[in-house]
Amino acid sequence: MILLSYSSKIHAQISPGNLTFAHAKLEGLSNCTKCHVMGKQLENSRCLSCHAELKTMIDGNIGYHSSSDVKNKNCWDCHSEHHGRSFRIINFYPDNFDHNKAGFKLDGKHSQINCEECHQTNFITNSLFKKRNGTYLGLSTNCVSCHKDVHQNTLGNNCASCHNTVMFKPAALFNHETAKFKLSGAHTKVECVKCHMKETLNGKSFQKFAGLQFRNCTPCHQDVHKGQFGENCVRCHNVESFKIMNKNTFDHSKTRFPLEGAHRRVSCVDCHGENLLSKPKFAKCTDCHKDAHFDEFTVNNVVTDCKECHDVFSFKTTLFTIREHNKAKLPLTGAHLAVSCQSCHYKTNLKQWHFRNIGIKCIDCHENVHGTELTEKFMPDNRCESCHVTDDWKKIHFNHGLTNFKLSGKHSSISCRDCHEEKNESGKISFRFASLHLNCTTCHNDVHFGQFNSNKIGSKPVCENCHGYDNWKPVKFDHEKSNFPLKGAHEKVSCSSCHKKVTENGNVFIQYKLRDFKCASCHA
């Protein structure tokens, strides 16, 4: 008896009562852990593992179970068990339920219908909810889940953007101002059905609202001009009236060619003819204007439009900047930046502007003042930039070391003009380069008056044998290499003792090259 009583008490602690009909299949000691966690309190995750449809709604933060009444509560706070087979585990009363907490407010016609009219199994699309007979869950808030889409899915499924819950007709919330085609002028007086006519789709008739063509007037209005003026009716008409605007009131800015600059001073007749019916081309300036550049800017048989360089205010001004010019074959640098355009591009004799094939070499615009004085080696292809820069013609960057006369000593500090500039009797300056000889006597007077000329015909004195380039002192002369090496007492004799001043042909100079070396010539 004590054992039986004890066993009954244990059973009472483990199973305090029968489960409801909904959970009856879970009865039995072997099924307890399907809901309970041994040694712990119940867990919501155990409930939601079976009621997956509720977990979907809770995770999506939708429906009554995501409202403030239920959120953060345990399932068993509302749905407790072990109270007998007939216990009302879902304590739900449709008549007293606050539908706002389900995430769908009942207003308008929805507040006047029975619950069963909406909460039908055939309106549920989610298969998880369809398994639950008599459930109030699983309905979508989209109108088309309960109502037939009379628009044949041409307007999407957001019915509330146009309709309210009071009635479907008229679409009280629709505002034509929010549509792509706003109603204005005479359009505000036209009945909807005039534009939104009934059509057939999938074998069913419906009134078409979306997809109407309105890029121009012709889908609704007949073109009485039969295409003469194109399809852009608003160039001449407005939505208030089809009355044609006359030339005094017509707003040309509404056309594809607004009148700007000098075009404002042009008569309408000049472009449109006497009856203003002609439709002139205006894609390019040359449609109306003569090409003043004689096809110089024609590329692949296409004339470059004038607006690339000119504006509508005057053809005399140009939009072609120095930056653009620097993209051409001849970038403007140095002094060229200060030269006017016409200096290079306007041919005075022809009274014409030319831009192509006018040359990009210096010689194309500048005279070669050096003539044949500069050879091809130092001025290849008449390229002045071999020595000059565009900043200043007087600046030279020539490397004299490339010639047969390297500048050293005093020669490296003198001006180029000292050697290469020459004035004639009339004072005209010319420059000598190739015609200059390498002999010192080309620039310097021979103070020795031919003493050091060789015996060769036409030979010149070689000053470098004795002199350097730093001064006139004979630092390179070595008496030992002469025809009379100094020995003995001769080493102590001053130069002037042997080399005396003489006069020949009226020239006074020191005799360095003695005619003979006999002792008697110097000693009595």
CB neighbour burial string for 226-242, b if at least 16 within 10 angstroms, e if fewer: eeeeeeebebbeeeeee
Q: Which pLDDT value is given to residue 245?
A: 61
Which residues are 510's β-sheet partners? 501
Domain boundaries, the chain: 2-141, 363-436, 445-522
| Other beta carbons within 10 Å of 209 | 16
Under 8 Å between Cβ of 282 and 305? no
Q: What is the CA radius of gyration of the chain?
A: 56
Give the 3-state secondary structure of residue 25. Answer: helix
Burial 29-66 (b: 16+ CB within 10 A, else e): eeeeeebeeeeeeeeeeebbeebebbbbbbeeebbbbb
Residues whose CB falls within 8 Å of the CB of residue 75, separated by 6 or more in sequence, listed in order: 42, 44, 47, 48
Q: How much is the pLDDT for 511?
A: 92
Distance from C-alpha of 119 to C-alpha of 100, rounded to nearest angstrom: 16
> How is residue 397 written in tokens?
């960057």
Task: Determine how many CB atoms are found less than 10 A away from the CB of residue 19.
Answer: 21
User: Cα separation of 82 and 23, whole Å?
Assistant: 10
What is d(CA 83, CA 19) in angstroms, rounded to the nearest whole number?
Answer: 7
- What secondary structure letter does DSSP report for 88? -
CA atoms in the 13 A half-sphere facing the CB of 104: 17
Quote the CA–CA distance of 35 and 42 in Å, as a whole number.
7
Listed in sequence order, the DSSP H helices in 51-140 are 52-59, 75-78, 115-118, 127-130
Asked if residue 389 lies in contact with residue 451, where contact means CB atoms within 8 angstroms, the answer is no
Task: State residue 277's pLDDT score.
Answer: 61
In the numeric block, the tokens 């190739």 are attached to: 434
- Quick check: 21 and 86 in contact, CB under 8 A? yes
| Cβ-count burial 380-413 (b if 16+ within 10 Å, e if not) | eeeebebbbebeeeeeeeeeeeeeeeebeeeeee
Q: Which residues pair with 507 in a beta bridge?
A: 504
Distance CA 20, CA 174 (A): 51
Residue 332: both structure tokens together: 């403007």
For 483, residues 6+ apart whose C-beta sits below 8 A from its C-beta are 517
Query: What span, in angstroms and rounded, lies between the C-alpha atoms of 277 and 473?
Result: 98
| Cβ-based neighbour number of residue 263 at 10 Å | 15
Separation of CA 179 from chain center: 33
Report the C-alpha gap between 294 and 298 in whole angstroms: 9
From first to last of its 524 residues, the chain has per-residue pLDDT tens of 233 333 334 444 555 789 999 899 988 888 888 888 887 778 898 899 988 888 988 998 988 999 888 988 999 999 999 999 999 988 888 888 899 988 899 999 999 999 988 898 888 888 888 877 778 888 888 888 889 888 888 888 889 889 999 998 888 899 998 888 998 888 988 988 888 888 888 888 888 888 888 888 888 888 877 776 677 787 777 787 775 565 555 678 767 888 899 998 888 888 887 766 677 888 888 888 888 888 888 888 888 888 888 999 988 888 888 999 999 889 999 999 999 888 889 888 888 888 888 888 888 888 888 888 898 899 988 889 889 999 888 888 889 988 888 999 999 999 988 999 988 889 888 899 988 888 888 889 999 998 888 766 555 678 888 999 999 889 999 999 888 999 999 999 999 989 999 999 999 999 998 888 888 888 87
- Residues 284 and 305: their CA atoms lie apart, in Å, by 6
Residue 369: predicted pLDDT? 87
Both tokens assigned to 269: 């007749």
DSSP character string of 124-174: ---HHHHTSTT-S----SSGGGTS--TTTTSS-S-GGGT--SS-SSS-TT-
Write down the H helix ranges in 216-353. 268-272, 322-325, 341-345
> What sign does the dihedral 447-451-454-459 (CA atoms) show?
positive
- C-alpha 492/C-alpha 495 separation (Å) is 9
**pTM score of the predicted model:** 0.41
Residue with tokens 């534009």: 195
Listed residue (197, 224, 223, 228) closest to 212, CA to CA: 197
H or E element: which one contains 509? strand 507-510
Give the pLDDT of residue 520: 85
What letter would DSSP give residue 333?
-
Q: Which backbone phi and psi does 241 adopt, to 5 degrees?
A: -160, 155
- Residue 21 C-beta-side C-alpha neighbours within 13 Å: 4
Q: Which amino acid makes up residue 67?
A: S
What tokens appear for 146 in the block?
């309960």
